[in-house]
Each structure stands twice: as C-alpha cells, then as structure tokens.
Amino acid sequence: MHLLVVGLSHKTAPVEVRERLAFTPAILGPALARLRRYVLEGAVLSTCNRAEVYALVGHRSTGEDSVRRFIGDAHGVPTEQFAPYVYVRSQNDAVRHLFHVASGLDSMVLGEPQILGQVREAHERAAQAGTAQRVVEQLFRQAVTVGKRARTQTGIARRTVSVSHVAVMLARQIFGDLGPRTALIVGAGEMGAQTARALTQHGVTSLLVANRTPARSRRLSAALGGEWLPFERLDEALARADVVVVSTSARERVIDAEQVRHVMGGRPGRPLFIIDIGLPRNVASEVGDLVDVYVYDLDDLQAICDANLRERAQEAEKVRRLIDDEVEKFARWWQALEVVPTIGALRAQAEGIRAAEVQRALAKLGHLSERDRRVVQALSGAIVNKLLHTPITRLKEHDEGRLYSVVLRELFGLATDAAEPGWGAAAYGPVDAPEGAPAERPPSAARPGA
C-alpha cells in the first residue's frame, strides 16, 4: 500500500487557482463523506495557503489519479485545469511533508502558529467522518506531536508573525503611524480576530468590525474596544476606513468594484488600503484598478514572508533534524505494520500445527491426568513461542522487513493474502474505484506494501 499527499500551495499555485480548490466549510463536509469512494483512508488539510489530501491507497499510480479526481469532483473543476500546479509525494516523503507543514516550515510565514491548529482540526474532521483510520490516524497524531516539539524545543516560533501580523506590517509600511487611522475588519472569524488584535497592538484606536453574524461582531468589537456594524452597513464602514482587512469564509466576493467606486466618490484624496487575506478572495480584482485604492492579497504578502524565512533559517535547520528523527520513527511503525499480516499468518500456521500434533499425542496418552495434559499444552506452546520469537523480532526491526516477509511466506507456504482483521486491502473493500464505476481491487493491493 502507498501513503500519498496530493495538493497545491502558495509555493506552486497563484491565489486565483487556490481559491477555486479551497475546501471551505461548505465543501469539506460533503467531500469527506465521499472521500472513501476514492481512497482507503484519507484526510483533507485546507488553509488559506494550501489544499492537500493525505491518502492511503492500494496502488501508487491509480491512487494518485483517484485523489486528483476527488479534488476535481469536490469543486467541479476538471483535473487538467489544475494539474500543472499539483505536487505529489509518497511514503516517507509524504510523511516528511506533513511534518514540515505542522512545524510551520512550509508556511508562507515560517514557524507561524495557526497551521498546527489547522492540522489538528483536519485530523479531527477526518476522524469524525471515519476517513482517518489506522495509518492516517497515526500519521496526523504524530504530526501534531512533531509540531508541538518544533515549537517547544526550538526557536522556530519565537517572535514569529502570522499572516495577519504580516498584513499589519504591510499597513504600517504604507501609512507609518497607524494611531490616527481607522481600521475595518470584515469577517470576525479566527483570522479576522487575530488581525484585529494585531492592529490594536500596533496603535490602532479606531476599530470597526463588520460580519454577517452580529453576535460575533459584537463580541470582537467589545473585546478590543471597537465598534461593530451590521454587514448591511458595509458601505458606511468602508467610507470611514483607511485600512480594510477582509477575511471571510464566503465563496463569493463581498466587496466589488462598483461598491468601492461609490464609496471613493465621497472621500476624494483619501486613499483606501485593502488587504484581502481570504481564500477564496473576498475582494473583486477590479477594485485594485480604482484610483487611490490599493489592494493586496495573499500572494502579495510573500515578499515580507521571505524576509521572515531568512531570519529563522538557523532554527529551521534544528526543526528539520527533529523531523528526520520523527520520519524514521514513523517508518519503523509503518514497516512493523506492513509485516503484521505475515506475522499473523506464521503464528496461525504454527499454532495449527502445534494444536494438531498435541491432540494426536494426547490421544495416544489417554492415561494422562488433566494436570499432565495442561503441562503438555504449555510445553508445546512455549516451544513454538521461543522458536518464533527471533524471526518475528527481526522481521519487525530489519530494514528489509518487507523482503523478509516475502521470503518467509515463500519458505513456509503462507497464503499471500493472509492478513489480520482490520489491516490489508480486504479490510477496506474496493480500492481506487472511479466515482460511479464498479470497484475492482488491483492485484497488488492484496497485501501491504504492494
């Protein structure tokens, strides 16, 4: 079997592509409900900078195709339209990639703290949907542990800044002192709240909050000493603002060119600075063409983040060494898991032989007491366990465990499709079946590691 990650990120795809393939809350639930029609196990990690599917599949090439098809089907986008932007990693490389992501090494802002919570949430959502089982469950549990270790045992997160902080840094570059400026936060979710707090920490005293859910606007504005406005009064809020930070979960644009053109007509000579950190983007691209209006999106924040990357390069190297150790740890777990069916088959065969021979011997020794019979049973069991202990231990620990497993099956005549309950292709059912098509299990998927 193969562990894959198929995805795209700020490193490979522009924001206009990422927004088309974002697994927003409205899309994620139904997508997870359908994910096991495409793969054995899986989880979806979707943030403002990435959309990735981690999956256990029975066959590398068909599995990769299935995951691409899953992404396209979930968004109604043909796979050929996003194929140039997609990366694929498998086995240890997929494990290492997720550990990098959870540690903040693959983020736009190196070491940023939000991604670890997003990895944890992706794990929880997959677990609730029943798509994260034995392998993906272990992968994400270990990724969260790695992310925590990276932040507590190295300086990768020390004095780090999130995307929201970078947005505020950009505003300071434009306006200098933010004290006399009015800031508007459109969207009172986690990213909006983080940005609002960052603005107040950098001197903003006049803060407006507009959100589709009034209760959230009230709570955020009250916590920061700001003013909330109903979403229906967004034009009024735009007219009062100098800096606008937009971060909503809406798939449609919440600020359009005609709306801003009307607002700017009533404030000649006053520039409007808009940072759109939503994905999909919340501000129509035409807004940036208007006079005295400056729009920045996630891709525009990359230059500041690159400087952040250089400053933390030394700590990042410490994290990479930590990750190398953790990848090796996962590889050992995976290797042991791969040989479990062989171990189970070997034990079952040995136990069958032992039980049959003991039964035959006891039939000839009919005069034995019950105590003597138990002694014979225990003796035979101890002999089998001692004989199997060393080969089983080496099978688990050797770097060529998979090869040893094949040889062992050949030497002892073990069935090639034997597997413990809960593991192996038989435990998952159809593998890599196209949506709506009859499912067929590839011949190589009958055993782990095929």
Stretch 353-379: mean pLDDT, rounded?
Answer: 89
Instruction: Note whether 29 and 99 are same-domain residues.
Output: yes
Torsion sign over Cα 285, 289, 290, 295 = positive
Comparing C-alpha atoms, which of 249, 218, 33, 212 is closest to residue 131?
A: 33
Comparing C-alpha atoms, which of 197, 44, 212 is closest to residue 131?
A: 44
CATH classification at residue 261: 3.40.50.720
The answer to whether position 222 is within a domain reads yes
Question: Which domain does 48 fall in, by range?
Answer: 2-160+313-331
Grade residue 114 by pLDDT with cuts at 50, 70 and 90: confident
Instruction: Note whether 169 and 276 are same-domain residues.
Output: yes
Instruction: Note whether 242 and 289 are same-domain residues.
Output: yes
pTM above 0.85, yes or no: no
The answer to whether position 431 is within a domain reads no
Could you give the number of structural domains in the chain?
Answer: 3
Instruction: Note whether 67 and 101 are same-domain residues.
Output: yes
CATH classification at residue 21: 3.30.460.30
Instruction: Note whether 139 and 120 are same-domain residues.
Output: yes
Instruction: Note whether 268 and 292 are same-domain residues.
Output: yes
Is residue 109 within 8 Å of 308, Cβ to Cβ?
yes
- CA 449 to each of CA 331, 342, 444: distance values in angstroms, whole numbers, following the listed order: 12, 12, 9
3-state DSSP assignment of residue 273? strand
Per residue in 213-249, pLDDT (tens digit) is 888 778 888 888 888 888 889 899 999 999 898 888 7
Per-residue tokens: 106: 């693959």
Q: The tokens 């039939």 sit on which residue?
A: 363
- CA 419 to each of CA 68, 334, 416, 446: distance values in angstroms, whole numbers, following the listed order: 29, 15, 9, 9
Per residue in 383-438, pLDDT (tens digit) is 989 998 888 887 776 666 667 777 878 888 887 544 333 334 434 443 343 343 33
Instruction: Note whether 9 and 150 are same-domain residues.
Output: yes
The answer to whether position 432 is within a domain reads no
Instruction: Note whether 172 and 300 are same-domain residues.
Output: yes
Catalytic positions, written as ranges: 48
CA dihedral 45, 51, 56, 60 (to 10 degrees): -160
Per-residue tokens: 433: 């079946």
Per-residue tokens: 8: 């795209």
Q: How confident is the model at residue 41, as a pLDDT?
A: 95
Instruction: Note whether 155 and 101 are same-domain residues.
Output: yes
Instruction: Note whether 249 and 136 are same-domain residues.
Output: no
Instruction: Note whether 11 and 155 are same-domain residues.
Output: yes
Q: How confident is the model at residue 308, as a pLDDT?
A: 62
Per residue in 119-177, pLDDT (tens digit) is 999 999 999 999 999 899 999 999 999 999 998 898 887 755 667 777 777 788 777 78
Instruction: Note whether 133 and 189 are same-domain residues.
Output: no
Torsion sign over Cα 60, 66, 68, 71 = negative
Measured in residues, the chain has a length of 450
Is residue 72 within 8 Å of 78, Cβ to Cβ?
yes
Per-residue tokens: 366: 């009919």
The span from the CA of 345 to the CA of 325, in Å, is: 31
